[in-house]
Amino acid sequence: MVKPTVYGIPQSTYVRTVRLLLEEAGAEYDLKPVDIFSGETKSPEYLAKHPFGKVPTLEINGETIYETVAITPYLNTVFASDKFIPSEPLHQARMRQIMAIIDSYLYMPAIRSIFIQRVLVPSQGGQTDEEMVAGAIAPAQTAMQAIESLAVCEPYLLGNELTLADFHLIPIFVYFSATPEFETATAQTPKLRKWWSEVSQLPSVKKVCA
């Protein structure tokens, strides 16, 4: 099997999503660091791979694939015999629905607003924008409750097998759970709290999200 290359920094949530799948599939891969903070993702060389200058980008067999929702189904077929996508059409729809909710409604409030302002900005000597954090709590709660209403969490999001949706949500929880706002945002989502206590113990999560 050809060894794929993942471009991106290990701290990126979306890079972590791709790596969680590769780790759970037992696939070998190379991780090539591309720094999102120093402007490296906006260099002509990197923009030639990913015109929007984001990570991750996957290279395999001379082909380049960007956008996590395109990368993970591809890797699932090539390296995991499709085991991370449910065969039942409704479960498949729920999986994609959860991934879309994460991308469209959860990532921005939970990571871009709350985590970055609460944890990253102060760690670099800056001051938290409290207004931005306060304004992000309700949207994060809405997204969490929407996922809660779709998920099974026994023990994984869609039942007893890991799916792409778990790989998508785990890295968000890793960062979001490091903020005090996580308690409020998950107060009405007991299933997701139980899910988190299970998946946070997976060896792949400890390895990729350490």
Contacts of 152 (CB under 8 A, 6+ apart): 158, 159, 191
Nearest to 70 by CA among 52, 87, 91: 52
φ/ψ (deg, to 5) at 7: -95, 130
Contact window for ligand GSH (CB under 6 A) among 51-59, 76-84, 129-137, 142-150 = 51-59
Question: What are φ and ψ of residue 176, in 5° steps?
Answer: -60, -35
Is residue 14 a contact point for ligand GSH (CB under 6 A)?
Answer: yes
- Does position 137 interact with ligand GSH (CB under 6 A)? The reply is no
Q: How far is the CB of 134 from ligand GSH (least distance, A)?
A: 23
Among 4, 6, 7, 12, which residue interacts with ligand GSH (rule: CB under 6 A)? 12
- Residue 35 within binding range of ligand GSH, rule CB under 6 A: no
Q: Binding of ligand GSH at residue 72 (CB under 6 A)?
A: no
Stretch that binds ligand GSH, among 49-57, 83-91, 147-155, 175-183 (CB under 6 A): 49-57
Six-digit token string for 85: 């996508």
Residues 5 and 2: their CA atoms lie apart, in Å, by 10
- Locate 148 and state its tokens: 């809660």
Rule CB under 6 A: which residues touch ligand GSH? 12-14, 36, 41, 53-55, 67-69
